[in-house]
Amino acid sequence: MNLIILFPKDRLDDLTYRLSDERADHILHILKAKVNDTVEIGLLNGQKGFARLTGIEKESITLIVENMSDPQPIKPTIDLICALPRPQTLKKVLAISACMGVRNIHLIRANRVEKSYFQSPLLEPENLNRYLIEGMAQGKLTRLPTVEIHDRFKPFVQELPERYSDSYKTLCKLLPDLCATESLQSFYKSYPDHILIAIGPEGGFVPFEAELFQSVGFVPISLGRSILRVENAVTAVLSHIELMIMMKN
Amino acid sequence: MNLIILFPKDRLDDLTYRLSDERADHILHILKAKVNDTVEIGLLNGQKGFARLTGIEKESITLIVENMSDPQPIKPTIDLICALPRPQTLKKVLAISACMGVRNIHLIRANRVEKSYFQSPLLEPENLNRYLIEGMAQGKLTRLPTVEIHDRFKPFVQELPERYSDSYKTLCKLLPDLCATESLQSFYKSYPDHILIAIGPEGGFVPFEAELFQSVGFVPISLGRSILRVENAVTAVLSHIELMIMMKN
């Protein structure tokens, strides 16, 4: 927990917050904060700054926020399309995506997705948010990614140009693919400000699915020589984007 | 399990192997192989090829290997030094390292490593191997990485030049570091054939430790803008190396 994220429900008044859950434990027992010490905090979907520990009660702590400022906008904007993985994998995908600044996550059906995954209690918003917030706290980000669940593959892909209508042509659309020979570099020369990534299920998208993505402009790219598990493929493609950004600067 | 890895203990005679564990389950129930079908196999620390399913007994299956050939050597050679993480994280580090072709893994003590981690039963070779082999089966590799455990930090780092004596000067020595401003690209112009990576614990190496690594030639590099968990930092740096390799070709 590199950033303590504060929610509206924690707020007592304008600047005062009260915590009683694992965040209070973390502040007291991991950070070993004492009264008057400050810790780094962020307001959900809001500013970042510090909070001064003003009270340690029996089962809660009180904080007063200070030195708040708007977080840096995250560029490029990254949206992730991911074939719905099994719940244990989804938790990791949510956390790493939120940690690395993905803005919107689309969880979609695909041929190799087990139908039962759509019934998982993990897909309830409060459960999804738990893993997103874990990732945000790790990556020191305050913006909660959105998650949308799409249980029909073909309409979702076909409607992508309309969904991203204002910028679809200039959008960098990446389809990590084991058989691809080109790397991200080949498609990154214009330094796009918006990237859309489509990650398949374990075993990959079936040919029809990969072709449909390509028909709406996705370009197959290689993530390297290894066949990666879904959560590692997400980490790898986001890492490749980070490296391209650093090479630009 | 993208590759079924066969061990000496599975061998009945020159070309015949018998399996009765989760590999047999995988072949029968995930790959849905029938008698006379072939599956991709690799011999531990040996060749890769195929095996024909010749018998399905009550609690085991029999395979005959065929079309075997030596696997491609993995270049560059990558050795990973990793501050010993908690067991759940170590499992992921072992699997992704083995999947992405790391050759040797050094698990070391560091200031922010909990001493109790060195008592974990996971550090027994057969337990380590389980996660390494899971990664190899994912990445379709047959070479089992070595794992060494070093419970003294300073002598380990100081003895690195001697340990890698034949090539220490030309070795590419990377120290992923949150504060670094340079990316891997800056240090990769000579396309090294041997890379040594040092990954710190959660919270990072303390200054003394980072300085000791730098005193023996390690160069801080940035993995991007996010503070990554250990297992994701391993994935990220290995992914950056993959991207540099692709950009070279």
Q: Give residue-wise pLDDT tens across range A16-31.
A: 999 999 999 999 999 9
Cα A121 from chain centre: 19
Beta strand B146-150 with B104-108: parallel, antiparallel or unpaired? parallel
Question: Taking Cα atoms as reference points, which of B12, B64, B74, B22 lies closest to residue B41?
Answer: B64
* pTM metric for this prediction: 0.95
Nearest to residue A198, comparing CAs of A183, A179, A226, A217? A217
Q: What pLDDT shows up at residue B52?
A: 97
B1 alpha carbon, distance to own chain's centre: 16
For residue A223, list chain B residues with Cβ-Cβ distance below 8 A: 239, 242
Peptide bond into B87 cis (omega under 30): no
Q: A139-150 burial by CB neighbour count: b if 16+ within 10 A, else e? A: bbbbbbbebeee
What is the structure's pLDDT at A190?
76
- Interface mutation target, options B26, B32, B40, B239, chain A, most CBs of A under 10 Å: B239
* Token pair listed for A195: 């990237």
pLDDT in tens, B231-247: 999 999 999 999 999 98
A134, closest residue in chain B (CA to CA): B229
Please count the residue pairs, one from chain A and one from chain B, whose beta carbons lie less than 8 angstroms apart.
Answer: 97
Give A158 to chain B, closest Cα distance, Å: 30
ipTM score here?
0.94
Q: Coil, helix or strand for A148? A: strand
Q: When comparing pLDDT for B239 and A72, which is higher? A: B239
| Alpha carbons B108 and A24: distance in angstroms, whole number | 31
List, in order of start, the domains of chain A with CATH numbers: 4-69 (2.40.240.20), 77-248 (3.40.1280.10)
For residue A185, list chain B residues with Cβ-Cβ distance below 8 A: 243, 246-247
Per-residue pLDDT of chain B (249 residues; tens, 9 = 90+): 999 999 999 999 999 999 999 999 999 999 999 999 999 999 999 999 999 999 999 889 999 999 999 998 999 999 999 999 999 999 999 999 999 999 999 999 999 999 999 999 999 999 999 999 999 999 999 999 999 999 999 999 999 999 998 789 889 999 999 889 888 887 777 778 899 999 999 999 999 999 999 999 999 999 999 999 999 999 999 999 999 999 887
pLDDT digits (tens, 9 = 90+) for A194-246: 999 999 999 999 999 999 999 999 999 999 999 999 999 999 999 999 999 99
pLDDT attached to residue A184: 87
Burial classification of residue B122, based on how many CB atoms lie within 10 Å of its CB (0-12 exposed, 13-18 middle, 19 or more buried): middle
**Residue B166 half-sphere exposure toward CB, CA atoms < 13 A:** 2
